[in-house]
Structure 1
Amino acid sequence: MRPARISRAQVLDATLDLAAEAGLGAVTMRAVAARLEVTPMALYRHVGDKQGLLDGLVERLMAQLTVPAAATSSDAAVETALGADPDWRATLRGLALSIRAVARRYPDLFPLLFQRRAVTEGAQAPRQAVFAALRAAGVPEPELASAERMLSTFVYGFAASEAGGRFAGLDIESEFEYAAKHVERLIEAIAAGAS
């Protein structure tokens, strides 16, 4: 092994490439290090351990989602951006379409998003954008976290089902539109206090 300076981004990129090619079971500190031509010890300062690798993999998947540009800086910035364009439906639909695209691109890795929470700072932008959209819809602050979990569980489930072939033979866009309209009505009901 050659001594090399590697970055956290290189470690996460190598982890994503390895997982996409060989599956989650192939992701080990040793395998990622071999891909980068460094010793496994060289990874520890960037990710800590295998759990850190998996958290980084979630981050890499989440980074592929299209979110409002302001979402990368702070929740307040997202609120400001949505305040100027309060179309919370368009924001949530855009995120849902992006999640579906990631699920189709990585159908074998996507279930990781059900198994692990997005804990790294780099994985938080989509969640913060959803919180901002729900606030723009009028969802009360005490209900935001529950509403976000309900929404993300539904969207991730729809995306995983689509990517896994569960909806084969159906008009998937009609199915998505049907679901999106009903989810929007539920969000409106929560905002109106009718939940």
Structure 2
Amino acid sequence: MGRRGLTRSEIIDATWDLAAQRGLAAVTMRSVAEQLDVTPMALYRHIGDKQGLLDGLVERLHGEIPIPDAALPWRERLTLLAGGIRAVARKHPDLFPLLFHRPAVTPAAQRPRETAYAALREAGLAEDDVVRAERLLSTFILGFAASEAGGRFGRLDAEAEYAYAAGLIEMILTK
């Protein structure tokens, strides 16, 4: 123990690996420190506390969502963003629900939201409506993605269900 040169990125990597292997309940300062062969106190300088570990996981999940090119039309950007969120949920079904329980507090974690805000502004929504519309969209997409990754749709055609719901939401947004 007592290794030098520890970075926030290494700590988040170890936290990610631990959560992927043993589940979110296994994530503690002590267990992450054991993964890194350091004392728990060595983590505090870089990450704060357990909440910082969880914020790092949220950042990592959001960081896997591809950000569409800002030059694309707003509808296409929102569609690609939603597809990226669904892909992350399918790739990490056990970690994805963390996005329901923790806010995106780091700048990197807020990139998908900022991308949606920009697209909604371009769609012509009033500034007062942008945040509310993004919340509606993200709640739908996160919920749909988690349901899809968890197998909720069973034999239903998830793509057809998604297209139906997305059509309703677009109708609301462009009203």
Residues 68 and 81 of structure 2 are in contact (CA less than 8 Å); yes or no, is this contact kept in structure 1?
Answer: no
Separation (CA, whole Å) in 1 of partners of 2:129 and 2:157: 33
Q: How many residues align?
A: 175
User: Structure 1: how far apart are the matches of 2:24 and 2:74?
Assistant: 35
- Residue 46 of structure 2 is matched in structure 1 by 46
Letter in 2 for 1:6: L
Out of 170-179 and 134-143, give the one that drifted further: 170-179
* CA distance in 1: counterparts of 2:40 and 2:10, whole angstroms: 14
TM-score (norm 1): 0.86
Structure 2: which 5+ runs fail to align? none
Instruction: Look up the equivalent residue of 1:147 and give its one-letter code.
Output: A
Residues 1:129 and 2:120 aligned together = no
Matched, 1:18 2:34: no
**In structure 2, C-alpha distance between the alignment counterparts of 1:131 and 1:66, rounded to whole Å:** 15
Gaps of 5+ in 1: 70-80, 190-195
Q: Matched residues in 2 for 1:29 and 1:171: separation?
A: 42
1:107–1:164 Cα contact (<8 Å) kept:
yes
Q: State the TM-score, normalized to the length of structure 2.
A: 0.95
- 1:63-78 → structure 2 map (5 Å cutoff): 63-68=63-68
* CA deviation map 1:146-195 (0-9, x unaligned): 11111100000000000111101011111111111211111112xxxxxx
Query: In structure 2, how many angstroms separate the alpha carbons of the residues matched to 1:3 and 1:111?
Result: 33
SS in 1 for 2:174: helix
CA drift of 1:4 comes to: 2.4
Q: Alpha carbon RMSD of aligned pairs, Å?
A: 1.2
Q: Identity, % of aligned pairs?
A: 60
2:68·2:80 contact (CA, 8 Å) conserved in 1?
no
Q: How does 1:92-131 map to 2 (within 5 A)?
A: 92-131=78-117
